[in-house]
Structure 1
Amino acid sequence: MLLPMAAPDFPTALREASLRVTQPRLAVLNAVHEHPHADTEALIGHVRARLGTVSHQAVYDVLRALTEAGLLRRIQPAGATARYEARVGDNHHHVVCRSCGAIADVDCAVGHAPCLTASDDHGFVVDEAEVVYWGTCPECAAVRTA
């Protein structure tokens, strides 16, 4: 039997990141947790549905602050708009549909972040690797074959 996931404690997460707890920050965290890989425009819509009036700039500022604090991760596959996710602290990757732009998380294939061992790091201290898999999602593939 699967137990329900505990709701994230956003106020505590904000305080631990030395950020004030504000309604816009809580609303953005909720929106990103409920809609992983959403772009900024979609997140603005979700935040406005929760709070009412909030400016584009306020949401952009909150996204930047939460990303800099490590509470969110900003991803931007080639040719796509920036997206945000709450899955941070691991080195997972993404698969992107070439047709509709859907994005899903992909864990490292083997072991603990093997992609961080570059064949030649040229003296860099590597702390993150970005791998993007491209293809066609099941829904778009079904439409093509229909």
Structure 2
Amino acid sequence: MLRERGLRLTPQRQLILEAVHLLGHATPEQVHQHVRQRAAGVNITTVYRTLELLEELGLVNHTHLSHGSPTYHATGADQHVHLVCRTCGSVAEMDTSVMHPVTDQLRDERDFRVDVGHVSLFGVCGDCTERSEDREGP
């Protein structure tokens, strides 16, 4: 895909793409930390620029799972909704079909198409809810 656009698949680009695939959901800083274990000369600016390029090419997507940096994941995986626990920080994935009632309504009433791959829902996971209820007691 890079070659089709007149670009080279440099070792740095390859390492960054591999890191995104390996890490699952990762911030640019996490990708940078992972890549530096194999290539100490790769700087954070290269990581950011490469992630932007890879997203333009449709190889990675980003979403916002916190107030910090975006989180990147490979597009080879099926699109999914992110469920982010505000208590423990865990990230779970849910099939996009859970959003169909909302996306259908927005399409029908507002002619608006939702990019479900960027959807993150924040709340409290079952484990944290259970631990909280255990502390409160009967």
List aligned pairs for 1:32-111, cutoff 5 A: 32-77=20-65, 79-87=67-75, 91-109=79-97
Cα drift, residue 28 of structure 1: 0.8
> Alpha carbons of 1:32 and 1:65: their partners in 2 closer, same or farther (altered >3 Å)?
same
Q: Which runs of 5+ in 2 are unaligned?
A: none
- Conservation of the 8 A alpha-carbon contact between 2:58 and 2:75: no
Matched, 1:128 2:115: yes
| Aligned counterparts of 2:101 and 2:57: Cα–Cα separation in 1 | 25
Cα drift, residue 141 of structure 1: 5.0
| Aligned counterparts of 1:95 and 1:17: Cα–Cα separation in 2 | 35
Cα drift, residue 20 of structure 1: 1.8
Q: Which runs of 5+ in 1 are unaligned?
A: 1-12
Cα drift, residue 88 of structure 1: 5.2
Matched residues, percent identical? 34
Name the SS for the 1:42 alignment partner. Answer: helix
Q: CA RMSD in A?
A: 3.0
- Conservation of the 8 A alpha-carbon contact between 2:64 and 2:120: no
Q: Which has the larger radius of gyration?
A: 2
Q: Equivalent of 2:8, from 13, 16, 20?
A: 20
Structure with the higher fraction of residues in helix conformation: 2
Aligned counterpart, 1:9: none
**TM-score of the superposed pair, with normalisation by structure 1:** 0.71
Cα drift, residue 109 of structure 1: 3.0
